[in-house]
Chain A
Amino acid sequence: MAEAAIELVGISKSFGAVRANRDINLEVQKGTIHGIIGENGAGKSTLMSILYGFYQADQGEIRVNGKPTVIRSPNDAIANGIGMVHQHFMLVDNFTVLENVILGAESNALLNSSISKARAELKRLEQEYSLFVEPDAVIEELPVGLQQRVEILKALYRGAEILILDEPTGVLTPPEADHLFRILKQLKEQGKTIVLITHKLREIMAITDNVSVMRQGTMVATRETAKTTVEELAELMVGRRVLLRVEKGEPALGAVKLSVRNLTVKDSRGVTMVEDVSFDIRAGEIVGIAGVAGNGQSELLEAISGVRKAVSGTVTLDGKPIDLTGAADPGELRDRGLAHVPEDRHHVGLVLAFEENENSILGYHDKPHYLNGPFLNIEAIRRDAKEKIEKYDIRPSDCRLKTANFSGGNQQKIVLAREIERDPGVLIVGQPTRGVDVGAIEFIHRRLIDMRDQGKAVLVVSVELDEIRSLSDRILVMFAGRVVGERGPDATEGELGLLMAGVEQQEAAE
C-alpha cells in the first residue's frame, strides 16, 4: 500500500439541522487520482471545503502526509500543500494570467520582483507539466479551458502537492475535457495527488485510480476504479439500481409542429447570440441541441418561447407565426400548445419562495379551474398539486412546503409535471437534468420519451452530451450562435465534440 497523502477520520459537519457530512473516513493515496462521486447535495463539496479550510469540521481529524493537521483557512491548506480549483473560477477577469497567479502570493509591496520571479516560475511549471498559457494574456480574453489552466497553475505556483478539482469539466467542451485529463495524468506522473469531485460517472471511469462514493452525507464505498463498473457506482450513488440509458423505439414522425426560419437574436448587450438558425421539429420526435454553454442556446429558447425579442426570422407553431417582437404573451403561446421548461428553474421556471402548490400553477394561474372569479380556488389548486406530486413521485409529498426546500431533481419534476400535464403539442426543455440527481434523471428522460411517443414535438437543449445522445432522434450542434451541423442519434461523441468546438466550421471557412 502506498503512503496516504490525505486521511480524513470521522469527519462530521452540520449546518443547523442539516447534517452535510456524517462520520466520513477517506484515504487518498499519494500520487493517485482519487474520484469523489455523489449526487447533488450528497456532501462532496462540503467535505472538500473542510479540507480546504472554508469550513471547520464539527468532529474528526484531518491528516496530511500522516501528520494530524488543523486547517482553519485556505491559507493553512496552501501551507500544507493543498490547492483547489473551484467549479466557478476565482480569477480577476481584467488581470493578466501572471497577475492572477501571483494574486495573494505577492512577496513584497512592490510587484516588480514578484512578477519577474513568477514569470520564471511559470515558465518552469509550463515546461514541467506542458501547461502552456500566455502569461500576459488578459483572463477575460481566454477561453474557459485556458482559464481553468490558470487556476491549476495558481495552485501549483503556491506549491500544491495535492490538488482538489471541483466539477472541473462542467464548463468544458469534450476536447477541452480530454485535454484536462491529459494534464491531470501528467501531474500524477510527476507525483502530485489529485482529488476529483464530479457527478459524471464517465469521467471517473476514464481517469481515476480510486473512487469514493458519497450519499446523503455519508461515505458509502471506496472502490478501485479498475475493479468497478459504471452500473455499480450508479447504484451506490442512488442507493438502488438505475437505468443509465433510456430505451426508446423508432420515432413515428408526424406533421411539422414547430418551424424556425433564419432566426437571429441579440442579447441585452446587443451582441448577436443566434445567427440565421433554421430547423423544423415534427410531431413524434425529439430534437436535441448540443453545444457548450453560452453558444446561443439560451437565447434561442427564449426567442421561441416568446420571452426574448428576435432581430429577424420567423417561428411558426402549427403553421401560424409566433410574435417575435418581444411583445408575445407567453400565456397565449401556452394556450396554443407550446410548453416551456426553462433552463433556469430557480429564477424563471419556479418562484422558490412559493409553496409547491403555488408553483404548480405558475403560467396557468389564469385558467378557470384554478379560479373562483378573481379569487384563487385554493382547494382545486392543492388537489391538483397533490395529484401531480403523486404522479411524478415528487418528494417530500407536501404541497404546502416551500419550493426552495425541495432538491434539484424534485424541483425539476415540479416544473415538468406542470408543463407536461397540460398536454402541450410542443414541449421545449432547457437543460432537463441540470443539477438533478441520477435517480431523477432516469425518470425525467422517461417522461420526455413518453411525450414523444404520444406524438408530441420535443426540443431539448442540453450541455450534457450524453443526455442529448441518449434522448434525441436528431441532433443539432450550435456553435457561436449558428447551427454548425446536424447528426443522427448514432453520432459519436468525438464527432459531436469537434462540432461543438467549432472545428469543422473553421475548416470549412479556410
Chain B
Amino acid sequence: MSTPYAKLPRWADYGLIPLINLLVAFAVAGLVVLLVGENPFRAAVILVDGAFGSGPGIAYTLFYATSFIFTGLAVAVAFHGGLFNIGGEGQAYFAGLGVALACLPFDGFLPWYLIFLLAILCSAVFGALWALIPAYLQAKRGSHIVITTIMFNFIASSLMVYMLVDVLKPTGSMAPQTRQFLEGAQLPRLGFLFDYIGMKVRPSVPLNISFLLALFMAFLVWVLIWRTKLGYEIRTMGFSPKAARYAGISETRIIIVTMLISGALAGMMAMNPIMGDQHNVPLDFVAGAGFVGIAVALMGRSHPAGIVPAAILFGMLYQGGAELSFEMPSISRDMIVIIQGLVILFAGALEHMFRPAVQAMFASVSPKSVGVVAAKGEGA
C-alpha cells in the first residue's frame, strides 16, 4: 500500500496538470479583475494580444523570457541537488560586474562575438563566485543556503550601488551607471528574424542573441542533469543525501559544484538586459528576474523542457501586463504581480491540489493507462 495514488501518463503529468493549475490561477485572477471593476475577459484578451498579437509583442515577450530561462535553470539545477538557491537575483546582479569587465576595456576594438564569449565567461564566473560563499558556508558550516543566499542578495545590491555610484560611473555623469557601451559590446538583435514570418519588428526591440544562448543552456542543463556522472550525483544528493553518502558521493563537493553551476547560470542572465538592451550597466537591471526564476523552475518542474515554456509564460505576463496597465489604467502593474503570485501559488505551492481528482478520473476512464497494478501484483 505504498502508493495511495496511481501514476499518471506523462502527458497528463507534465501537460494537463500544469494547464489546469494555470487555468485556475487565471480564473481567480479574473475574479480580482472583476473586483477592480473591469471586464476580466477583455483584460485577458488585452494581455494575450499584447504579448503575442504582434511582432514586437512577441519579441518583447521572448526578451523577458530570456532572462527567466537563465534564472529558472539556475534554480532548477540547485533544486536537483536538494538546494534552494534564492540568490539568483544577487548572483545575476553581481555578474553585471563581470559583464562590465568583459565589455568596458574591449568594446572599442574587439568584434561583438569575441566580447560575447568573454562576457559569457565573465558573467558565469562572477555569478558562480557570488554563489560560492553561501555554498561553502552550507557545505562546511551547515549555514542554511536559503538564509545565506537571501542575505547575499542584499549584499550584492549594496555593493552594486557602491560600484556604480563611486567606481564605474563616468566622471561628470549624473546617472549611476557605467558609460554607454560601444558597438563591440552590443549584442545583435533578433528582430530581423520576424521578417521571415511576415511580421515587422522595430530594430529597437531588445530581443537579442542571448535568447539563443538561453535555449542552448537549457539543452546543456538537460545533458548535465540526465546524461553526466555529475548530474547523476547531483540528483542522488537531491533525492537522498543518505543514499549519496552510501554511494560514496561527497556532499561537500556536490553542494559547492551545484551552487557554482547554479550561480553561473543566474550570472549569464546579466548579459540579456545589459548587452542586449541598455548597453550600459545600470542600477537594478535584474528587476526581479532572479525571483521569477524560482516560479519558473517550480512551474517547469525543474526540467528544461518545462522551464522554457514557463519562462515564456512569465515573459507573456510581463509584456502583456505592461500593455494591460496601459489600456486599463485601473489595473496597475501591481495587478500583474498579483497574477504572477496566483500562478506561483497554483503551479508551485498547490501543484498537487488537483492531482487526486485527475488521477481518479484517469483510473475510472482507462485503468490500463495508469498501469501500476502490474508492478504490485507480480511480486516474485
Contact = CB atoms under 8 A, between A and B. Distances in A.
A and B interact physically: yes
A358 B380 contact: no
Contacts, number: 141
Given A16-B359, A374-B228, A348 B243 contact: yes
B3 interface: yes
A311 interface: no
B367 A17 contact: yes
B374 A330 contact: no
B379 A374 contact: no
Contacts of B371: 17
B174 interface: no
Contact of B379 (A358, A363, A376, A437): A437
B246 A363 contact: yes
Contacts of B334: none
Given A17-B363, A374-B228, A362 B239 contact: no
Interface stretch (B17-25, B153-161, B229-237, B269-277): B229-237
A420 B141 CA distance: 37
B67 to A, nearest CB: 29
Given A17-B6, A395-B378, A409-B380, A371 B229 contact: yes
Nearest to B356: A16
Nearest to A41: B376
A483 to B, nearest CB: 25
A274 to B, nearest CB: 19
Contacts of A404: 2-3
Interface string A432-446: 000001011001000
B246 A410 contact: no
Contacts of B1: 15, 20, 41, 43, 45-46
Nearest to B224: A374
Contacts of A393: 380
B245 interface: yes
B227 interface: yes
Interface residues of B, number: 41
B376 A18 contact: yes
Contacts of A17: 6, 362-363, 367, 370-373
Interface in B351-380: 359-360, 362-363, 367, 370-380
B247 to A, nearest CB: 4
A20 B242 CA distance: 31
A112 B25 CA distance: 52
A349 B245 CA distance: 10
B376 A401 contact: no
Contacts of A440: 379-380
Given A17-B367, A344-B242, A329 B228 contact: no
Contact of A362 (B5, B247, B363, B373): B247
Contact of A376 (B2, B229, B242, B367): B229
A413 interface: yes
Contacts of B231: 376
A408 B231 CA distance: 27
A66 interface: no
Residue from the set B3, B231, B362 with the largest chain A CB neighbour count within 10 Å: B3
Contacts of B239: 351-354
A41 B248 contact: no
Given A347-B240, A393-B380, A405-B3, A14 B232 contact: no
Contacts of B229: 365-366, 371, 374-376
A334 B248 contact: yes
B3 A15 contact: yes
B377 A216 contact: yes
A18 B380 contact: no
B236 A362 contact: yes
Nearest to A14: B363
Interface string A315-340: 00000000000000111101000001
Interface in B192-237: 223, 227-233, 235-236
Contacts of B169: none
A353 to B, nearest CB: 5
Contacts of A14: 363
Interface of A: 14-20, 39-41, 43, 45-46, 216, 305, 307, 329-332, 334, 340, 342, 344, 347-354, 358, 361-363, 365-366, 371, 374-376, 378, 393-396, 401-402, 404-410, 413, 437, 439-440, 443
Question: Ordered nearest first, which 4 A-B pairs have the shortest CB separation?
Answer: A331-B248, A16-B6, A407-B379, A17-B370
20 contacts: A16-B370, A17-B362, A18-B376, A19-B373, A20-B1, A330-B246, A331-B248, A348-B243, A351-B235, A361-B232, A362-B243, A365-B229, A374-B229, A393-B380, A405-B7, A407-B378, A410-B379, A437-B379, A439-B379, A440-B380
